[in-house]
Structure 1
């Protein structure tokens, strides 16, 4: 079954390029809506695309922050991938903290956008090389102390599509997996670095050296 996507970008050439990349993708990715305004991301309930590809510079009203746009989409339950010219790690982490599934710069190219789209549709995190490299180079001093078991659960969760797969690999229950992940998130919140989503938690873990990019 094809993955469906809405693309929001203010450059027609970018829109055309993304359509062409998705047309050649495997598994199939179908663009069901595209435009230069955030309005094209809003459809009738039940008709939403699986993933929204969002440029951060599409608001018609310059007083509206990209944070408000991202938060509105995420709060509506949309799976958002930010695809932007901005390469700021602060902007990337802000978007991840707001709940996006992925953050890519337009310099990353088609392979990474396609891979990130597939990952988002499958509820998996995806971290492109440029952003991963920046995070590895910028270790954070406020690193929570995780137990060996918590680190093991965390790494496997990043590698798997579901908590059930982690539970099967470790011979524990999904409830126990969830308890470990809740405890990890609490530890991050306690040091002032909340990570509510899987993508945000992955970014934190890479920053802190808790997982290695090669492990993923």
Structure 2
């Protein structure tokens, strides 16, 4: 790929090259949201591979791609350093996306060879602007950027998919029930209710929407229609 490509030359309908993009994220809702938005709003990129786990990415016939978006917080044991270095060795550039926007996480990703480290709270037009910088692509024209920005919600607006048990525990807890009372109301063990609520918090954190504190959890419930 040329070091700098004009906006016109990268559009598929103009016959030029399009950046082949892979996304590695084990949260299926976020993976689908990213892929759909990019394919509809970023004509200079094409999501050719969406993977929910590491092996699915590296064993795909589409790998390596030109660029890979990698979620920092995968549940798999393989480290961010190993993931980034493998992609770089295969010839792909890497941007790490994370809801854990800490100095340590950023330094680990960049030291391993990632081209950028971005918070998931960023709107999608900002994420793709960073991707264009990494790939040496000129920005789209003003009209396209404006249209893209207007259709670009922050990743933090993604609503996590909860299981029926998680949703019921969530609704009860944010409506004023204690964890003990949630367990009694659901007729489950205390540890089960506790696990449901922990998973709810983890799923919100996964999409960049903090829910560690009860006040944050109530705020998420209000935003997503769980409060009656």
TM-score, normalising length from structure 1?
A: 0.50
Structure exhibiting the larger radius of gyration computed from Cα positions: 2
